[in-house]
Amino acid sequence: MVTTAVQGKNYIGGKWAPATTGQTFEDRNPADTRDLLGTFPRSGAEDAARAVAAARQAYPSWKRLALIRRAEVLDRFVQLVKADTEELARLLARENGKALSEARADVVEGLHMAQYWFGRARTPWGEVVASEIAGKTSFVHRKPKGVVVAISPWNFPFAIPLWLICPSLVAGNTVVFKPAEETPLIAQRLVEHLEKAGLPPGVLNLVHGLGEEAGWPLVTHPDVDVVLFTGSAEVGGMIKAECARDYRKFAVCEMGGKNAMIVFDDADFDLAVDAALLSAFRTAGQRCVSAERLIIQEGIFDRFVQAFVEGAKRLVIGDPQDEGTFMGPLVSQAAVEKVESYNALAAREGAKVLLPGGRLTAGAFAHGYFMSPFVYTMRHDPKARVLREEVFGPHVALIPFKELEEAVRIYNDTEYGFSLAVCSSDYRKINAVQEECEFGVGYVNLPTIGAEVHLPFGGIKKSGTGMPSASALLDAVTHQVAWTVNYERKIQLAQGLKAAVR
Ligand code: NAD
């Protein structure tokens, strides 16, 4: 592939510019690190402060624009992205390493989110509420909060930023967007498309850079009202703690998982095996909803293990740009090292290793971060870290269970509570799992993966703040204000409180 490396820029107050630090970082293709996509501004606190100031300055006029006019920018954005979907998907696959079909789905999910918010602007935006006193009516209005910081991960580099940016903008806030340093180019394309769609200067600002250098100064900036973060529990925990210290700042943090499938003896066997393969290895296991635990009932355990291992051996690992590829590379050297360390930990913690996984280095894999699946069986052990911590790669445990209660206990035995899939043909068991397991997104006779923009998508416990849906994000970026109007010529108060002053 012969392409010119891009010289990326920040976008602040409607102007494209390098970082004030004068520094840059490189953006390379994880499938072939010889392929340089571009260099991007390695921003610092000064750039973050300029972006917040630009967002603050643009806020009054943006919030005064009619809600439907604000949303119309997203309609124009959708038209532009539709014309470029294939090019954006190919760029996304090249930059982040996910297989092309998944890259297309990432772009389409972002499109759906923009369409959702364009339409949502024409639906009721407040409420009329009865008063206990005749002659008074109360209204609930939504008001934007001000400046929103959106910090996103690399694994859904088109869809997730739009989950955060669309409700913020439509609601009348202005935004500073700090994308993941692994995927700056697709983020820049996203902002360019929004600029072309007609966003006024300063309404959306883009600050490239590393988390601690460019992200943290945004989180801690005193003139920011809301921080919307999606990423790891480690960083999300720090952001939650920091924002809790500030009376005014509100944080929504959606984080990782240690997700699982529960498969009962009575499940449709082939469907369950396919669902398990998709759960464990789609996006090379680098989804917040990837399953790293397959909890399988004893009656089918051996047969399931055999079929799963056979399936895992057949998965096509290769260049994300090839239509036939199922699994591309991991995103970085650091990601490879993390998975390798958990593979080694599994062996130390008593795993029976069935597929040894590991880095692929021969032939076409020589210049990328490719890994093959690591598959093991293990009895549940509450002390085993490998069964409780998020690995984020092609690493999966098959764990046997006897009875429903045991499956539920195993599922819940982690600090996370994100995605759950159950395979069974007995609705009583399915219902019990739904009632007793701690999860945010659940699937029946399906893999643990998949999102639709109008459904909640996020976890509980260490996985998230429980505000994952589009509607919940609207609550996060707006104040709901009560507005009570008296239509009489005298004052009447609730709870029988006397209004006489003399
Ligand atoms: P990460 O936490 O390392 O980084 C996420 C973002 O935070 C990046 O933009 C990064 O630059 C920034 N960041 C890092 N340190 C920071 C700091 N100190 N201050 C401010 N910003 C900082 O996560 P990642 O590796 O990009 O993504 C993978 C993680 O995201 C996994 O744990 C995965 O489960 C999770 N995830 C969750 C969801 C969800 O919907 N809940 C979706 C996708 C990914």
Locate the domains of the chain by residue range. Answer: 9-255+464-482, 259-444
192-240 pLDDT, tens digit per residue, is 999 999 999 999 999 999 999 999 999 999 999 999 999 999 999 999 9
Backbone conformation region of residue 466, classed left if phi is above 0, alpha if psi is from -120 to 50, else beta = left
Using an 8 Å Cβ cutoff, are 41 and 9 in contact?
Answer: yes
With a cut of 90, say whether residue 488 has pLDDT above it: yes
Active site residue 288: yes
Number of the ligand 1 atom closest to the C-alpha atom of 256 = 34
Phi, psi of 23 (to 5 degrees): -95, 160
Whether residue 331 has its Cβ less than 6 Å from ligand 1? no
Among candidate residues 260, 262, 291, 258, the one with its CA nearest the CA of residue 433: 262
Burial bucket for residue 453 (CB in 10 Å: 0-12, 13-18, 19+): buried
* pLDDT band at residue 33 using 50, 70 and 90 as cut-offs: very high
Using an 8 Å Cβ cutoff, are 372 and 394 in contact?
Answer: yes
CA distances from 272 to 184, 297, 338 (A): 37, 12, 28
Amino acid at position 252, single letter: V
Amino acid at position 283, single letter: T
DSSP 45-98: HHHHHHHHHHHHHHHHHHHHS-HHHHHHHHHHHHHHHHHHHHHHHHHHHHHH--
Active site residue 254: yes
Whether residue 13 has its Cβ less than 6 Å from ligand 1? no
Whether residue 178 has its Cβ less than 6 Å from ligand 1? yes
**At a CB cut-off of 8 Å and minimum separation 6, what does 33 contact?**
367, 368, 369
With a cut of 80, say whether residue 3 has pLDDT above it: no
Catalytic residue among 109, 213, 254, 390: 254
Whether residue 14 has its Cβ less than 6 Å from ligand 1? no
Catalytic residue among 288, 292, 390, 423: 288
398-430 pLDDT, tens digit per residue, is 999 999 999 999 999 999 999 999 999 999 999
Using an 8 Å Cβ cutoff, are 121 and 457 in contact?
Answer: no
- The domain covering 259-444 belongs, at the CATH homologous superfamily level, to Aldehyde Dehydrogenase; Chain A, domain 2 (3.40.309.10)
Whether residue 466 has its Cβ less than 6 Å from ligand 1? no
334-384 pLDDT, tens digit per residue, is 999 999 999 999 999 999 999 999 999 999 999 999 999 999 999 999 999
Per-residue pLDDT, 471: 81
With a cut of 60, say whether residue 52 has pLDDT above it: yes
With a cut of 60, say whether residue 2 has pLDDT above it: no
Calculate mean pLDDT across residues 18-42: 98
Q: Whole-angstrom Cα distance, residue 433 to residue 260? A: 12
Q: Whole-angstrom Cα distance, residue 410 to residue 414? A: 8
Structure tokens at 321: 């740009």
Per-residue pLDDT, 465: 83
Using an 8 Å Cβ cutoff, are 227 and 235 in contact?
Answer: no
**At a CB cut-off of 8 Å and minimum separation 6, what does 408 contact?**
432, 433, 436, 437
Q: Whole-angstrom Cα distance, residue 423 to residue 433? A: 10
285-326 pLDDT, tens digit per residue, is 999 999 999 999 999 999 999 999 999 999 999 999 999 999
Number of the ligand 1 atom closest to the C-alpha atom of 210 = 11
Q: Whole-angstrom Cα distance, residue 302 to residue 292? A: 18
CA of 332 to the centre of ligand 1 (A): 14
CATH code: domain 9-255+464-482 is: 3.40.605.10
Tokens 């399915």 correspond to 430
**At a CB cut-off of 8 Å and minimum separation 6, what does 471 contact?**
none
75-102 pLDDT, tens digit per residue, is 999 999 999 999 999 999 999 999 999 9
Per-residue pLDDT, 467: 65
Cα 360 to chain centroid distance, Å, stands at 28
Threshold 0.85, pTM exceeds: yes
Per-residue pLDDT, 35: 97
Per-residue pLDDT, 1: 53
Mean of pLDDT over the chain: 96
Whether residue 11 has its Cβ less than 6 Å from ligand 1? no
Per-residue pLDDT, 56: 98
132-189 pLDDT, tens digit per residue, is 999 999 999 999 999 999 999 999 999 999 999 999 999 999 999 999 999 999 999 9
CA of 226 to the centre of ligand 1 (A): 17
Number of the ligand 1 atom closest to the C-alpha atom of 233 = 32
CA of 59 to the centre of ligand 1 (A): 27
Per-residue pLDDT, 470: 81
